[in-house]
Amino acid sequence: MKISRRDFLKLCGISAATIGLDAGDLFRLEEVLANPKGPTVIWLQGSACTGCSVSLLNRLSTSPPHNVADVLIESINLIYHPNLMALAGDSAVAVVENAYSAGGYILAVEGGVPTAFNGNTCWPWSLDGQHVTFQEAVLDLSQKAAKILCIGTCASWGGVAAAAPNPTGVKGVKAVTGKTTINIPGCPSHPDWIVWAVAQLLLGNTIALDSNGRPRTLFNKTVHNQCPRREAEEAETFGIDRLCLEELGCKGPDTIANCPIHLWNGGANWCCDANAPCIGCTDPKFPFAQLSSEGEDD
């Protein structure tokens, strides 16, 4: 299916209300996407499960464009993505090298950065017959990136990939590069959060971040604060509809995310309303411990 740059606009238009784009934003996006010299996006995958890419790939619409991956490839200059690009081997690396020389690209990182064993547990590619570690690739490419987008909790702070005992020494991108990163957490990240962030960067908008690098527009209230079960009686056992899940370990009171309002799977549902306690996957300390909430509560 041939998809044009206009289709990214259409996707943003479909999601405009839910991802907070107004008519002026859509008009400016149209101008940006019409520019053949628009920003280049390099998407790297490190220590992760690829769930963030799958989450984005599953961003389905009932009308064309159906698949956000096609849209991103055809409408945004996404030059490197391990699962989506047609190129492989040296020719794929050459494309990254060219983008690096030009600079000014958006570097999207999915997955944490293994640092133990000099980073040799993760090799994204080889150059001149030498393995390049993911750590080297992230360090090099971060130098000339206009913006660094961390897709998912692993890239943001380590996440599941950095869970103890963490033998490969996985860290988040900011911890490795020292650079400011725009963190779009979630395990996986919500596709609309990713689309929102890419659209903001294409528009040249400044994204206000909280102290953990998360966009304040998306991450400003606890899950608990927005949960429809907040006043409900507490469940003592699993599988009972409409009861609060705090006694069963719900992390909603300590987790900042808009899942109860934004919903998942094309608006089908979200964790607590499927009777599954929030596991706190957008939190810097996920999966084992959590920071105290910095959002409003009660």
The residues that touch ligand FSX, with contacts defined as CB under 6 A, are 48-52, 110-111, 152-154, 159-160, 187-188
Identified catalytic residue from 12, 150, 227, 272: 227
**Span near ligand SF4 by CB under 6 A; candidates 105-113, 171-179, 222-230, 280-288:** 222-230
Catalytic residue status for 187: yes
Site string for ligand SF4, 227-266 (x = CB under 6 A): x-xx-------------xxx---x-xx-------------
272 is annotated as an active-site residue: no
Shortest Cβ 227–ligand SF4 spacing (Å): 3
153 binds, among ligand FSX, ligand SF4, none (CB under 5 to 8 A by kind): ligand FSX
Q: Binding to ligand SF4 by residue 280, rule CB under 6 A?
A: no
Selection from ligand FSX, ligand SF4, none that 250 binds (CB < 5 to 8 A by kind) is: ligand SF4
Min CB(69)–ligand SF4 separation in Å: 31
Question: Could you say which of ligand FSX, ligand SF4, none residue 51 binds, taking C-beta under 5 to 8 angstroms by partner kind?
Answer: ligand FSX
Q: Should residue 224 be labelled a site residue for ligand SF4 when binding is judged by CB under 6 A?
A: yes
Q: In whole angstroms, how close is the CB of 198 to ligand FSX at the nearest point?
A: 16
What is the SS3 assignment for the chain? CCCCHHHHHHHHHHCHHHHCCCHHHHHHHHHHHHCCCCCEEEEEECECCCHHHHHHHCCECCCCCCEHHHHHHHHCEEEECCCCCCCCHHHHHHHHHHHHHHCCEEEEEECEEECHHHHCCCCCEEECCEEECHHHHHHHHHHCEEEEEEECHHHHHCHHHHCCCCCCCEECHHHHHCCCCEEECECCECHHHHHHHHHHHHHCCCCCECCCCCECCCCCEEHHHHCCCCCCCECCCCCCCCCECHHHCCCHHHCECCHHHHCECCCCECCHHHCCCCCCCCCCCCCCCCCCCCCECC
Residues marked active site are found at 49, 52, 154, 187, 224, 227, 244, 250, 259, 271, 278, 281
Q: Which positions touch ligand SF4 (CB under 6 A)?
A: 223-224, 227, 229-230, 244-246, 250, 252-253, 272, 278
